[in-house]
């Protein structure tokens, strides 16, 4: 056969060795940040599986310490905490209580694992009786969170996490101006070197469903569409990201991950700051459920999805798969 010359891409795919040599994107253990749900409880043995997220648990501080110890032994370098307080109220008192559940957990983890980076989610939704991410006007029917009044509480929460020893704070509430409010409060309190990772481009996503079971934070009325972004909007995401960098965010996050790879890529092109993405609860649950049914190879899909997030531009990935990934690496 006398064919004209054509590209032989397969030459570089003939063996594992050559494929490894030319691989462009690699997921490293240190790229991943694990998420934990810690519960304020008198039962030190409290460890409750989250139905919609196989392999994930609500944990007492003692159980958290145990679980984190195992993950650190596997090579985990960073994690982020969500708190479930005993009591919720209209002003989210538990969020900025210096003896609140997240504050207790930070102290414990930093004492036991000084080299572990402990980040915290800064938001009020797990602490408000109505489940919204900020303060509401009396009689509110729509979840129209009061922006500027909420900023003070978010700033207080971040400072309280810092005082407990957190290494990074991550506001996820989507109020306008919160990065500036938090940066100012942290600086005033003497935490000039504490980085802020802002959930800058956060969509009003149905992929958060399982998380709301895990964190018991579903809004009792209305939804989050008056503060989280419309899934159809990309340019608006860039606007949000630019605003947060200007306000002082050190790391910018796009959330969810896989359904928003185009947004991740666009932010990567536009901004020269470290970029994070959050592979959210629904993404995790879909992969786990299909794998449990034998419909997909769960480990392979996990690796492929993490690789896709890095390839699109993420420097770091918040993922519930962190421990699974580390176990797989250790094999
Ligand atoms: C708090 C918060 C949420 C998530 C992270 N921080 C829930 C929400 O905004 O409704 C979702 C994470 C996930 O689905 O894994 N506001």
Structure tokens at 244: 């947060």
| Residue owning tokens 């002003």 | 91
Catalytic pick among 88, 255, 288, 310 = 255
The confidence score (pLDDT) of residue 9 equals 96
- Has 283 been labeled as part of a binding site? no
* Confidence label for 299 from pLDDT (cuts 50, 70 and 90): very high
Return mean pLDDT, the chain. 97
The span from the CA of 124 to the CA of 122, in Å, is: 7
The confidence score (pLDDT) of residue 146 equals 96
**Ligand 1 atom closest to Cα of residue 224:** 10
**Ligand 1 atom closest to Cα of residue 35:** 15
The confidence score (pLDDT) of residue 321 equals 98
* Confidence label for 285 from pLDDT (cuts 50, 70 and 90): very high
Q: Does residue 235 surpass a pLDDT of 80?
A: yes
Residues in the chain, overall count: 331
CB 199 within 8 A of CB 171: yes
Query: Cα-flanking dihedrals φ and ψ of residue 116, to 5°?
Result: -75, 130
The confidence score (pLDDT) of residue 227 equals 95
- How far is ligand 1, taken at its centre, from the CA of residue 100, in Å? 19
- Has 57 been labeled as part of a binding site? no
For the Cβ of 56 lying below 6 angstroms from any atom of ligand 1, the answer is: no
The confidence score (pLDDT) of residue 205 equals 97
Q: Is 202 a catalytic residue?
A: yes
- Has 133 been labeled as part of a binding site? yes
Question: What's the CATH code, domain 27-330?
Answer: 3.20.20.70
- How far is ligand 1, taken at its centre, from the CA of residue 238, in Å? 20
The confidence score (pLDDT) of residue 60 equals 98
The confidence score (pLDDT) of residue 253 equals 98
* Confidence label for 107 from pLDDT (cuts 50, 70 and 90): very high
Outline where the chain has alpha helix (H).
Answer: 16-22, 61-74, 101-112, 147-164, 178-188, 209-214, 235-247, 261-270, 281-292, 298-311, 322-330
* Confidence label for 232 from pLDDT (cuts 50, 70 and 90): very high
- Spatial neighbors of 46 by CB under 8 A, at least 6 apart, are 39, 58, 59, 60, 63
Where in the chain are the domains? 27-330
Instruction: Compute the 3-state secondary structure of the chain and give helix, strand, coil in percent, each to the nearest 5.
Output: 45, 15, 40
- How far is ligand 1, taken at its centre, from the CA of residue 24, in Å? 31
Residue in 113, 25, 4, 31 with CA at minimum distance from that of residue 315: 31
Structure tokens at 82: 């969500």
The span from the CA of 193 to the CA of 162, in Å, is: 11
How many other β-carbons are positioned within 10 Å of the β-carbon of residue 32? 23
Q: Does residue 2 surpass a pLDDT of 90?
A: no
ipTM above 0.90, yes or no: yes
Ramachandran sector of residue 138 (left: φ over 0; alpha: ψ -120 to 50; beta: rest): beta
Instruction: Give residue-wise pLDDT tens across range 17-67.
Output: 999 999 999 999 999 999 999 999 999 999 999 999 999 999 999 999 999
- For residue 115, the 8-state DSSP code is T
Q: Does residue 239 surpass a pLDDT of 80?
A: yes
Q: Would you give the distance in Å from CA 209 to the centre of its chain?
A: 14
Instruction: Give residue-wise pLDDT tens across range 216-226.
Output: 889 999 999 99
Mean pLDDT, range 100-125, rounded to an integer: 98
Q: Does residue 1 surpass a pLDDT of 80?
A: no
The confidence score (pLDDT) of residue 3 equals 83
Instruction: Give residue-wise pLDDT tens across range 146-205.
Output: 999 999 999 999 999 999 999 999 999 999 999 999 999 999 999 999 999 999 999 999
Outline where 191-280 has alpha helix (H).
Answer: 209-214, 235-247, 261-270
- Has 79 been labeled as part of a binding site? no
Q: Is 255 a catalytic residue?
A: yes
Instruction: Give residue-wise pLDDT tens across range 245-268.
Output: 999 999 999 999 999 999 999 999
* Confidence label for 109 from pLDDT (cuts 50, 70 and 90): very high
- How far is ligand 1, taken at its centre, from the CA of residue 81, in Å? 12
Answer with the residue of higher pLDDT: 167 or 212: 167
Query: Cα-flanking dihedrals φ and ψ of residue 176, to 5°?
Result: -75, 135
For the Cβ of 325 lying below 6 angstroms from any atom of ligand 1, the answer is: no
Instruction: Give residue-wise pLDDT tens across range 78-99.
Output: 999 999 999 999 999 999 999 9
For the Cβ of 120 lying below 6 angstroms from any atom of ligand 1, the answer is: no
CB 261 within 8 A of CB 310: no
For the Cβ of 198 lying below 6 angstroms from any atom of ligand 1, the answer is: no
Ramachandran sector of residue 92 (left: φ over 0; alpha: ψ -120 to 50; beta: rest): left
The span from the CA of 223 to the CA of 236, in Å, is: 20
């Amino acid at each position: 056969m006398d064919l004209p010359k054509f590209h032989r891409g397969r030459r570089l795919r003939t063996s594992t060795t050559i494929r490894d040599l030319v691989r462009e994107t690699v997921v490293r253990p240190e790229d991943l940040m694990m998420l934990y749900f810690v519960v304020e409880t008198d039962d030190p043995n409290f460890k409750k599986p989250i139905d919609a997220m196989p392999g994930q648990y609500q944990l007492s501080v003692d159980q958290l310490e145990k679980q984190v110890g195992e993950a650190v032994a596997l090579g985990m370098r960073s994690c982020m905490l969500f708190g479930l307080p005993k009591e919720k109220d209209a002003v989210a008192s538990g969020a900025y209580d210096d003896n609140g559940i997240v504050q207790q957990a930070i102290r414990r983890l930093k004492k036991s694992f000084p080299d572990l980076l402990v980040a915290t989610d800064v938001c009020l939704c797990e602490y408000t009786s109505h489940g919204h991410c900020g303060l509401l006007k009396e009689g509110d029917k729509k979840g129209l969170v009061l922006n500027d009044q909420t900023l003070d509480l978010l700033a207080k929460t971040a400072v309280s996490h810092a005082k407990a020893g957190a290494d990074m704070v991550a506001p996820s509430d989507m109020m306008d101006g919160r990065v500036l409010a938090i940066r100012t409060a942290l600086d005033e309190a003497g935490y000039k070197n504490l980085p802020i990772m802002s959930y800058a481009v956060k969509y009003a996503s149905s992929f958060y469903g399982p998380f709301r079971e895990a964190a018991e934070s579903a809004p009792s009325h209305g939804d989050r569409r008056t503060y989280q972004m419309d899934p159809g909007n990309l340019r608006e995401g860039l606007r949000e990201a630019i605003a947060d960098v200007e306000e002082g965010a050190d790391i910018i996050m796009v959330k969810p991950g896989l359904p928003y790879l185009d947004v991740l890529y666009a932010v990567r092109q536009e901004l020269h700051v470290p970029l994070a993405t959050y592979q959210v609860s629904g993404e995790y649950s879909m992969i786990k459920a299909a794998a449990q049914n034998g419909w997909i190879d769960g480990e392979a899909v996990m690796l492929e999805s993490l690789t896709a997030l890095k390839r699109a531009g993420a420097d770091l990935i918040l993922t519930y798969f962190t421990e699974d990934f580390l176990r797989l690496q250790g094999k």
